[in-house]
Structure 1
Amino acid sequence: MKKQILDLQTLTMISLFAALIFLSIQFFKIPVGAQFIHFGNALVVVGCLIFGSKLGFLAAAIGLGIFDLLNGYAAEIPIILLEALAVAVVIHFLYEGLFQRKDRLRNILVTAVAAALVKIVLNILKYTLVGTLFGESSLPAAFLLAVAKITGTFGSSLATVIAVPILYPIFQQVRKAHKQRRTVKSRDESTISINKETV
């Protein structure tokens, strides 16, 4: 397994991606009942695919955390981060492990579906537990209420399944182009250094 090194340029790209996650939720959302549909979850998956599950989770934690802090959801941050961590873990074992990071459409689509299902299951579990422990509802009633409550999660999960196979190749090309520019720049600097030493 390749060791991930956090140099300045990598940190910059992760910060930019975190900002993109924040902006996608802050300004591109569709209200659905108490929740809303957004593309933040899709970008979390794309970030994990591009940067790896660890750095992708870091970008997700920053982007999601900033959104929650600025929008009155500070109390939800630990739960949101746990959900993002669960998604990153699934991507780690599925895409990085089972699929060995092979960029086939089937692999990307299966990973997106798995991430979406994890998000749905965790939200249902969260609201079912809340309804059972604090709402004094029976388990079946709390479960049905939880399913009815997460219409926004269903919408965002569908958006994830659709958007990830479209967005990932685009961001992957941007990432590759950035790496190529870094390689060319490094070679040019090495050539200049050699020429100076020769002179």
Structure 2
Amino acid sequence: MKKDFSVQAIVLVALFTALTVIGTTIKIPLPTGAFVHLGNAVLLLAVLLLGYFKGSLAGGLGFFIFDMLNGYATEAPYFILESFIVGAAAYGALLLFKKKPTALWQVVVIGCVTGIAKVAMTQIKNTVMLVIAGADVQAAFVGAAAKLPATLINVSMTVLIVAFLYFPLRKALTATMKRSFV
């Protein structure tokens, strides 16, 4: 298997990294202390357009940079790992459609599968954090579930945004690039 480290690929990873930082910076705070942001949509678009590794790397680096710049340094490594796990779910769903979804409903299915992975990862992370803080497992699980509304809103927004942007972005990338990345 040939490794692709072309200038074009590096520039696209850097572009999607920057877009993830910007998308995560555009946030709507919630009363729980969490916030709704556009970073997850950029991660999913990166995986769909660049492939699993490059897309997940771009999203993970973008979340890492955002966390480091905004006082969430302790969570930064986790979000790199989460980006690869959620990216794997997205890529797995993409494989169902032979890496080329052709209909809106297919993109929505990919978004929903990705959303399920994101919700599961958030629930696990929040449960572990509460257990580390001293709660028993059952109380930690319930407390973590109380924090899920922000994630559910993020997932819903991600599915909508990606459904609207995927086909125009794929067409634009295909028209301007020499080859497809996925």
TM over 0.5: yes
Return the match for 1:166 from 160, 164, 167.
164
Unpaired runs of at least 5, structure 2: none
Alpha-carbon distance between aligned partners in 1 of 2:24 and 2:105, rounded to the nearest angstrom: 27
Shift of 1:31: 0.3
SS in 1 for 2:134: coil
AA paired with 1:125? I
Residue 71 (structure 2) pairs with residue 35 (structure 1): no
AA paired with 1:60? G
Q: How does 1:149-164 map to 2 (within 5 A)?
A: 149-164=147-162
Return the match for 1:140 from 138, 141, 154.
138
AA paired with 1:176? T
Whichever of the two has the greater Rg, that structure is 1
Unpaired runs of at least 5, structure 1: 184-199
1:35/1:150 contact within 8 Å kept: no
1:35/1:151 contact within 8 Å kept: no
RMSD: 1.7
Greater RCO (Cα-Cα under 8 Å, separation 6 or more) = 1
Alpha-carbon distance between aligned partners in 2 of 1:61 and 1:152, rounded to the nearest angstrom: 19
TM-score (norm 1): 0.82
Taking every aligned residue pair, what percent have the same amino acid on both sides? 31
2:44/2:87 contact within 8 Å kept: yes
AA paired with 2:107? I
Please list every run of at least 4 consecutive aligned residues from structure 1 whose deviation after the TM superposition is greater than 4 angstroms. Answer: none
Q: How does 1:1-199 map to 2 (within 5 A)?
A: 3=2, 5-26=4-25, 28-32=26-30, 33-96=32-95, 98-104=96-102, 105-137=104-136, 139-179=137-177, 182=178
Shift of 1:152: 1.9
Instruction: Tell me which protein shows more helix as a share of its residues.
Output: 1
Shift of 1:64: 1.1
Alpha-carbon distance between aligned partners in 2 of 1:136 and 1:165, rounded to the nearest angstrom: 39
AA paired with 1:152? A
